[in-house]
């Protein structure tokens, strides 16, 4: 997939890649710590000093293989991980008041070099095993699970409802961090292992699931989260009231959407920030984030907040939209009310504080619902608050036929958490199938006891 010229110009790289000399100089600053807190802080436990040491010795391929051994999506994670709160946040150089090692940019340097040289992934086992595993969803969790299984010799098939793989890596993460084409390029490594992909194939009903249960030995649920919560206020059905996820997906993978002069974004998480920044870069002069709580309550990371301010996004705290006003020309404003936050955190509208915030477009990013319909159709799979309950060490659910990982288990975290979950589940499935080898089960197999 080619990135459009317009999008490439409007969304240049947030953290431009290292030149070779600068990368080697940065790699040589690493203290090669024995207990490497950076590795401990990475959910996929990439051996950071090892891969950095290989860059210092000009062994780029070896460095990339060290990364890929722990994290098959090492390229995208190098661009999208919130490293300030993960590996770089844990770097010991902070203790000496020195700048932490730029781990993410070094990781990207190694992975870019690997891809540019046409690198491919190797198998961990030469054995070809007959057992088949269906991974539902082609996001980071399923990709990591399928890659792990295929590397161990199992047959992995990924079912994806959309036309392209990658999940939110392709359709959601801001373009200046990870362009869709870079996400797709990385997935070619996984396809190269022999993982089969079936696109535009939504697994919707219990009947679909039962068919998969018959055809496959194990099922992995990597379906992420569902639709965005709607605002639920009068006027929210106007055509210029847009779901942030659809807005981002559209500019990343289709024609850039038209943006208005003034845009209001409702919500203050990372998705709201991404949508607000995108609206600015797509040409909106005024973009404001409206949030019902205060600055310190926002769920966006501090560096995302700083970035949005640099992009010129305005913030309105303790305001709640109550109605969207429009006329025959389109949206004119959002009626808002000011909010008081009680000591116990309870929000209360301040009487008589209503005001109109002028804008012509509204983007909402107030969280996503779980895919309850699908998850409830997975017989015998325990859910808690809409999330799949798993054994954290293996990804196993309460039905031995099903494993799960990523956002549908953790409720929505980071790409690297989904990769870690997917890999753990891949290992978990491989262990179970090696202990009790099994060609596809027939209806009435032991799993049915959990139905
Ligand atoms: C706007 C946005 C920006 C983000 N930015 C970052 C970031 O900068 N850094 C970061 O680390 N994380 C970021 N995240 C979080 C990160 O993208 C997710 O945590 C991660 O993608 C979760 O991976 P997953 O595989 O669990 O789910 P997803 O990536 O959501 O993938 C699930 C896949 O399953 C498919 N699917 C769903 N139902 C079915 C079905 N019934 N049949 C077939 N296929 C189905 C979906 O189409 C999708 O492709 C962001 C999230 C959002 C929403
Ligand atoms: S903590 Fe910092 S200095 Fe130590 S190994 Fe990790 S990156 Fe290198």
Strands 355-358 and 330-341: antiparallel
Structure-token pair, residue 78: 């190098």
SS3 78: helix
Rounded Cα distance, 381 and 395, in Å: 12
**For residue 49, which atom of ligand 2 is closest to its CA?**
5
pLDDT tens digit sequence for 252-270: 888 888 899 999 999 999 9
| pTM of the predicted model as reported, rounded to 2 decimal places | 0.93
Residue 222 confidence (pLDDT) above 90: yes
Question: Which residues line ligand 2 at a C-beta cut-off of 6 Å?
Answer: 30-33, 36-38, 48-49, 91-93, 101, 103
For residue 439, the CA-to-ligand 1 centroid distance in Å is: 31
Ramachandran region, residue 200 (left: φ > 0; alpha: ψ -120 to 50; beta: rest): left
Q: 132-226+369-450 maps to which CATH number?
A: 3.50.50.60
Ligand 2 center from residue 113 Cα (angstroms): 22
* CB 395 less than 6 A from any atom of ligand 1: no
**Half-sphere exposure of 16 toward its Cβ, with a 13 Å CA cutoff?**
4
Pocket probe mutation, ligand 1, options 76, 137, 226, max atoms within 8 Å of Cβ: 137
Tell how far the Cα of 62 is from the centroid of ligand 2, in angstroms. Answer: 18
Q: Which of 13, 165, 204, 223 is the pocket-test mutation for ligand 1 (most atoms within 8 Å of CB)? A: 223
In contact, 78 and 87? CB cutoff 8 Å: no
Q: Please, what is the average pLDDT of the chain?
A: 93
CA of 112 to the centre of ligand 2 (A): 21
Q: Parse the chain into domains and list their residue ranges.
A: 14-116, 132-226+369-450, 241-364
Cβ atoms 112, 61 nearer than 8 A? no
The rounded distance, in Å, linking the Cα atoms of 397 and 428 is 11
For the CA of 100, the closest atom of ligand 2 is 2
Does residue 406's CB lie within 6 angstroms of at least one atom of ligand 1? yes
Q: Give the Cα separation of 31 and 27 in Å (integer).
A: 9
Distance 79 CA to ligand 2 centre (A): 19
Q: What is the pLDDT of residue 17?
A: 87
Task: Name the class of domain 14-116.
Answer: mainly alpha
Give yes or no for residue 162 CB within 6 A of ligand 1: yes
Ligand nearest to the Cα of 56, by number: 2
Q: Given this model, what pLDDT does residue 79 score?
A: 96
Answer whether 195's CB lies under 8 Å from 150's CB: yes
Bridge partner list, 325: 333
Q: Which ligand is nearest to the CA of 304?
A: 1
Q: Does 132-226+369-450 match 241-364 in CATH topology?
A: yes
Tell me how far the alpha carbon of residue 318 is from its chain's centroid: 28
Q: Cα(187) to centroid of ligand 2, in Å?
A: 29
Tokens in use for 258? 């038209």
Q: Whose CA is closest to atom 41 on ligand 1? A: 203
**pLDDT tens figures, 12-67:** 787 888 999 999 999 999 999 999 999 999 999 999 999 999 999 999 999 999 99
Residue 342's pLDDT is 85
Q: Predicted confidence band at 2 (pLDDT cuts at 50, 70, 90)?
A: low
Of the pLDDT bands very low, low, confident and very high (cuts 50, 70, 90), residue 377 is very high
For ligand 2, atom 4: residue with the closest CA: 33
Q: Whose CA is nearest to atom 2 of ligand 2?
A: 91
Burial class from Cβ neighbours inside 10 Å (0-12, 13-18, 19+) for residue 318 reads buried
Element (H, E) at 373: helix 372-376
| Cβ pair 235, 330 in contact under 8 A | no
> Contact 229/368 with Cβ under 8 angstroms?
yes
- Say yes or no: domain 241-364 is CATH 3.50.50.60: yes
pLDDT in tens, 80-138: 999 999 999 999 999 999 999 999 999 999 999 999 999 999 888 889 999 999 999 99
Measured distance CA(158)–CA(260) in Å, rounded:
38
* Whether the Cβ atoms of residue 440 and residue 257 lie closer than 8 Å to each other: no
- Tell me the CA–centroid distance for residue 91 and ligand 2, in Å: 5
Hey, which of 27, 29, 34, 38 would you mutate to test ligand 2's pocket, going by the most ligand atoms within 8 Å of its Cβ?
Answer: 38
Condensed to tens digits (0 to 9), the pLDDT of residues 291-350 reads 999 999 999 999 999 999 999 999 999 999 999 999 999 999 999 999 998 888 889 999
Q: Is the pLDDT of residue 444 over 80?
A: no
Interval 151-167 mean pLDDT: 97
- The closest residue, in CA terms, to atom 7 on ligand 1 is 80
Distance CA 159, CA 200 (A): 8
Q: Which of 172, 246, 274, 364 to mutate to test the pocket of ligand 1 (most atoms within 8 A of CB)?
A: 172
The reply to whether ligand 1 has any atom less than 6 angstroms from the CB of 160 is yes
399 against 2, higher pLDDT: 399
């Amino acid at each position: 997939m080619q990135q459009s010229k317009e999008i490439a110009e409007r969304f240049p790289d947030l953290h431009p890649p290292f030149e070779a000399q600068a990368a080697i100089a940065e790699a040589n600053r690493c203290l090669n710590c024995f207990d490497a807190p950076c590795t401990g802080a990475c959910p996929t436990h990439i051996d950071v000093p090892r891969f950095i040491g290989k860059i210092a010795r000009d062994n780029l391929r070896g460095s990339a293989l060290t990364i890929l051994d722990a994290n098959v999506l090492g390229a995208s994670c190098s661009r999208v991980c919130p490293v300030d709160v993960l590996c770089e946040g844990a770097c010991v150089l902070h203790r000496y008041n020195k700048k932490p090692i730029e781990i993410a940019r070094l990781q990207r340097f190694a992975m870019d070099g690997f891809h540019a040289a046409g690198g491919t992934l190797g198998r961990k086992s030469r054995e070809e095993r007959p057992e088949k595993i269906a991974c539902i969803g082609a996001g980071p969790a399923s990709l990591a699970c399928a890659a792990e299984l295929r590397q161990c010799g199992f047959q992995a098939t990924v079912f994806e409802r959309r036309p392209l793989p990658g999940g939110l890596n392709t359709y959601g993460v801001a373009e200046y961090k990870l362009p869709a084409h870079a996400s797709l390029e990385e997935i070619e490594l996984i396809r190269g292992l022999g993982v089969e992909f079936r696109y535009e194939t939504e697994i919707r009903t219990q009947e679909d699931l039962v068919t998969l249960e018959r055809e496959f030995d194990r099922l992995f649920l990597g379906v992420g989260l569902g639709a965005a919560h709607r605002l639920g206020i009068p006027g929210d059905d106007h055509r210029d009231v847009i779901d942030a996820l659809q807005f981002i997906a559209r500019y990343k993978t289709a024609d850039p959407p038209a943006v208005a002069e003034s845009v209001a974004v409702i919500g203050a998480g990372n998705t709201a920030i991404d949508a607000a920044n995108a609206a600015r870069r797509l040409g909106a002069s005024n973009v404001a984030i409206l949030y019902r709580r205060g600055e310190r309550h926002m769920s966006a990371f501090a560096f995302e907040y700083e970035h949005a301010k640099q992009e010129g996004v305005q913030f309105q705290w303790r305001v709640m939209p109550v109605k969207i006003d429009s006329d025959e020309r389109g949206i004119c404003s959002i009626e808002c009310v000011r909010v008081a936050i009680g000591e116990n955190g309870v929000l209360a509208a301040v009487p008589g504080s209503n005001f109109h915030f002028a804008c012509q477009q509204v983007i909402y990013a107030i969280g996503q619902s779980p895919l309850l319909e699908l998850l409830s159709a997975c017989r015998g799979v325990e859910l808690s608050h809409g999330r799949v309950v798993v054994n954290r060490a293996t990804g196993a659910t309460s039905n031995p036929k099903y494993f799960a990982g990523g956002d549908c288990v953790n409720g929505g975290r980071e790409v690297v958490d989904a990769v870690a979950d997917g890999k753990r589940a891949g290992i978990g499935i491989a262990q179970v199938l090696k202990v009790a080898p099994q060609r596809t089960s027939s209806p009435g197999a032991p799993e049915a006891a959990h139905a």
